[in-house]
Amino acid sequence: MIRWKYIRTEQDFLPNLPTYPNPLQNSPAYAIVNQHFVDPEDVVSQKIVTQKNSARGVHFRRAGPQEKVYFKSDDVRTCIVPCGGLCPGINTVIREIVCGLNYMYGVDDVPGIEGGYRGFYSRNTITLTPKSINDIHKRGGDGTQKGASVIYKKVEKRGLQVSVAEILKTIDNDIALMGRCSGFIAMYVTLGSRDVDCCLIPESPFYLEGPGGLFEFIEQRLKENGHMVIVLAEGAGQEHVAVRMDVVGVKDATGNKLLLDACWPMDLTGN
């Protein structure tokens, strides 16, 4: 017996929701590709290697376009809400969503919500079209996952015909093994590079001054090589910054601990 673990769909809480032919069937770009739709029963196994008599384990629904969709293109209004931490790559995602909706699915009602989730209340919206976002990927942007999860729960509770699509660009504490208080990405980057002299991560406390401190190590390495490369993970050294700025326990608007700027001014010349 397969033990299912998957992202819930509209039919999980709206079982009688009608379906419609996917507009991609009329797209010349997809018409030449065989079997370009994903079967609703397709799953991906969590564990690739299993033993002969072992349980089949956890499986996930396979992502991709399906032959039937739950909304008519003419009725769809897609809101794009960027919020959270800075992420320049999110504008590329926004551009592809707008162009994909317009060119592939025939959806042209795509408002952009300015000011994060507050934009829903202040009604700060702009109309997004392929022309208006043509060069948006050359500018900065940001986004988050937590708010989308809250919206999904409200949608499910009210039984609304609304889909919430999350783009996994985050490196916050929104998905397993990743987090702004987890330095494994910085650590593996350091292990894979021969140019890094020092890697600072939040899991490994360090001290700045005195014998064996960070300042002593930096000064020594600069004297030896004339330069130094430091990889600094988000969340590292927060206790030192908080003491210097006399800021403790401050949280952001979403309730997360506010991370302070960890780039400290240092004078190692003796002047």
- pTM for the model stands at 0.53
Instruction: Please list, residue by residue across 142-179, b when 16 or more beta carbons sit within 10 angstroms of its beta carbon and e when fewer do.
Output: bbbbbbbeebbeebbeeeeeeeeebbebbbbebeeeeb
Contact 231, 196 (CB under 8 A): yes
What is the per-residue pLDDT across 160-175, written as a single tens digit (0 to 9) for each?
888 887 766 555 544 5
Q: Return the pLDDT at 13.
A: 67
| DSSP per position, 7-32 | ---HHHH-TT---EE-GGGG-HHHHT
172 is catalytic: yes
What residue ranges of the chain have pLDDT lower than 70?
A: 1-13, 28-35, 84-88, 139-145, 167-176, 178-180, 242-250, 252-254, 256, 258, 260-271
Say which amino acid occupies 260. L
Give the pLDDT score at 213: 87
Task: Kindly report, residue by residue over 92-122, the tens digit of the pLDDT.
Answer: 888 889 998 998 899 999 999 988 888 888 8
pLDDT at 10: 57
Between CA 32 and CA 25 the distance in angstroms is 10
74, 172, 246, 267: the catalytic one is 172
Domains of the chain are 1-70 (no CATH), 72-169 (3.40.50.450), 183-244 (no CATH)
Short-list 100, 96, 133, CA closest to 29: 100
Alpha-carbon distance of 106 to 176, in angstroms, equals 35
Contact 84, 172 (CB under 8 A): yes
